[in-house]
Amino acid sequence: MQLNQRLGSPVLAIFSRWLRWLVFGFGVAHLCVAFELIDRPFWVLAVAFMLLWFLIETIYNWLGIQALSVSPLPLFPRYIESPNGEEWPTLPRFLKIREWLRANGFSLVQPVKAEIGGGIHLRSCVYQDQAGGIRLQITFMPLSAATLGVCYSLVSHTAGGQRLVTDNFYIPYAGFYPEHWFVERLPLTRSLAKLVARHRARLAGEAAIPFTSEPVADLNAQQHELDQLNTQLGFLNPHGEREEFGKISQAGRYRIWKEVWMLNYLGRSSQ
């Protein structure tokens, strides 16, 4: 966990969670057998305490989802252009990413930010390749007071009207996408080069249409479309009912709970 405070790696975080679960289950079972607290076989106690951990973490996650649902935090925040321009972290691992972008023909289009509440902003830089058919959004994620993570999202529009999205976000979404969106989420792929290669492989044989709108306009249109669609399909409560019942419906909360478990312990999205 201390190492991951510097690296912000989802792979290390998954290993830490599994280790914590196993240590709790086998450790408490060992104590019960060693001190003769419970007269049951060791393996029965280990399974029972692992199930207890599952129940505790399920309650914790469910309470977190409930708090998010009734909080004023926006699920689809509105982006604005960052008035301070490009704000790039000075840590060596982030500077290497910037050098890779320059070496591979990606140029900055627009720095943007979105307020998620309490004066906290998600800061992103939107880059574009030389042909203008691939947009790369780099989002800096505050994981804790001392840890900053980074996620990538590559987007292209094809001549056939499709929107191809390849990203490595490891925060749960669990909602619905429009039919013309084709999203591939790879939370464990932390290499930008591999993610770009995967996106270009998905574009093979397709003609990517160059972007004409500014990133902030495209991002806000995307957020509005997702909000409307997820309200229509029942993932979100209707706007008139959100003050009383919260933003997320019961079915939506279950989907998020399942997505949290998939990401936290398997490193994959349930989409």
The string of pLDDT tens digits covering residues 46-102 is 999 999 999 999 999 999 999 999 999 899 999 999 987 777 888 888 899 999 999
The answer to whether residue 27 scores a pLDDT higher than 70 is yes
Residue 51: per-residue pLDDT = 98
Q: Which of 3-12, 202-211, 223-232 has the lowest mean pLDDT?
A: 3-12
Residue 120: per-residue pLDDT = 79
pTM: predicted TM-score of the whole model, two decimal places = 0.90
Q: Which helix (H) or strand (E) holds 142?
A: strand 135-142
Nearest partner of 172 among 51, 112, 253, judged by Cα? 253
Residue 12: per-residue pLDDT = 86
Residue 88: per-residue pLDDT = 84
Q: Which helix (H) or strand (E) holds 12?
A: helix 10-34
The answer to whether residue 247 scores a pLDDT higher than 80 is yes
Q: What is the average pLDDT value for the chain, to the nearest integer?
A: 91
> Which residue is listed with tokens 């930010």?
113
The answer to whether residue 3 scores a pLDDT higher than 80 is no
pLDDT band at 269 (very low <50, low <70, confident <90, very high): confident
Residue 5: per-residue pLDDT = 60
C-alpha triplet 85, 143, 55: angle, nearest 5°: 150
Higher pLDDT among residues 226 and 36, named by residue: 226
Nearest partner of 45 among 59, 31, 57, 56, judged by Cα? 31
Q: Taking the chain, what is the end-to-end CA distance rounded to the nearest angstrom? A: 28
Residue 223: per-residue pLDDT = 95
The answer to whether residue 145 scores a pLDDT higher than 70 is no
Give the separation between CA 238 and CA 35, rounded to whole angstroms: 55
Cβ atoms within 10 Å, residue 55: 10
Q: Which token pair is 22?
A: 């196993």
The answer to whether residue 133 scores a pLDDT higher than 90 is yes
